[in-house]
């Protein structure tokens, strides 16, 4: 699994001109899933995201997690995180999991993240064309790949 995690003041996802989800202070997570991803990846990434200390403490040091600040999380599926761009100018998405694999894993990830956060996580709609808006706070943007845990 690959995730682009952005600390946000607010973020939303709109589908067909209707706001599906909105969060205030918290994390926007763009999530890519490949065929080899399993339950271990889901649990590891969820724990990493909820414990990631990217919010400022009283000394203005990034020392608090999204849980510590009672923040919110918005997860958007993003198969393009597995774009292969080595050859030519048209990206290949062959490493991204097919919907029959990625949809259940995406749902399992959202469930695990909600459990680890202690409250409901907001989402986009898998496979839909979405307009994602955010105010990146900092900016703070972190890339995590479960295949590079070390």
Centre a 10 Å sphere on the Cβ of residue 48 and count the other Cβ atoms it contains: 16
Q: Is 18 inside a domain boundary?
A: yes
The pLDDT tens digits for 114-149 are: 999 999 999 999 889 999 999 999 999 999 999 987
- The domain containing residue 60 runs over which residues? 2-145
Please give the angle made by the CA atoms of 72, 74 and 80, to the nearest 5 degrees: 150
pLDDT at residue number 88: 85
CATH of the domain at 57: 3.50.80.10
pTM to 2 decimals? 0.94
Q: Is 150 inside a domain boundary?
A: no
The pLDDT tens digits for 34-83 are: 999 999 999 999 999 999 999 999 999 999 999 999 999 999 999 888 88
The set of catalytic residues is 80
Tokens in use for 63?
């020392």
Count of structural domains within the chain:
1
Q: Is 66 inside a domain boundary?
A: yes
């Amino acid at each position: 699994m690959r995730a682009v995690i952005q600390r946000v003041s607010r973020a939303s996802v709109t589908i067909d001109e209707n706001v599906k989800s909105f969060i205030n202070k918290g994390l926007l997570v763009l999530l890519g899933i490949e065929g080899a991803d399993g339950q271990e990846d889901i649990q590891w990434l969820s724990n990493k995201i909820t414990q990631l200390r990217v919010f400022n403490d009283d000394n203005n040091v990034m020392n608090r997690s999204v849980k510590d600040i009672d923040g919110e999380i918005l997860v958007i599926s993003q198969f393009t995180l597995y774009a292969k761009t080595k050859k030519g100018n048209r990206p290949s998405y062959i490493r991204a999991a097919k919907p029959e694999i990625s949809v259940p894993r995406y749902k399992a990830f959202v469930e695990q993240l909600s459990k680890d956060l202690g409250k409901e996580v907001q989402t986009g709609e898998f496979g839909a064309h979405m307009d994602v808006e955010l105010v990146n706070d900092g900016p703070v943007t972190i890339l995590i790949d479960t295949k590079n845990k070390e």
